[in-house]
């Protein structure tokens, strides 16, 4: 058993993650992988429509910061 902490990306709540076995099953949060975050973005000139909403497509500029995406129980259920 291994214990470590992470933060919920949505609310910032501290999560206590417990790895329970050699197959890396865990409890205490929901893991969605690693994501790249950029400080600056530039408009690509393209748009995307989802339902009634139309939004600009942007591209990250510079070197991204790679973070793990974890959510708490409350965020996962909503």
Residues 6+ apart with CB under 8 A from 15: 5, 6, 7, 8, 28, 29, 70, 72
Domain count, the chain: 1
Q: What's the pLDDT tens digit per position in 31-71?
A: 999 999 999 999 999 999 999 999 999 999 999 999 999 99
Instruction: Give the Cα separation of 47 and 43 in Å (integer).
Output: 10
pTM here? 0.72
Q: What's the pLDDT tens digit per position in 5-37?
A: 999 999 999 999 999 988 889 999 999 999 999
Give the structural domain span for 42: 2-77
């Amino acid at each position: 058993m291994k214990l470590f902490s992470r933060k919920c990306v949505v609310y910032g709540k501290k999560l206590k993650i417990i790895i329970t076995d050699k197959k890396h099953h865990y409890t205490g949060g929901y893991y969605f992988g690693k994501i790249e975050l950029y400080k600056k973005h530039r408009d690509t000139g393209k748009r995307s429509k989802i339902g009634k909403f139309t939004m600009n497509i942007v591209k990250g500029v510079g070197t991204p910061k790679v973070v793990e995406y974890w959510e708490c129980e409350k965020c996962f259920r909503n």
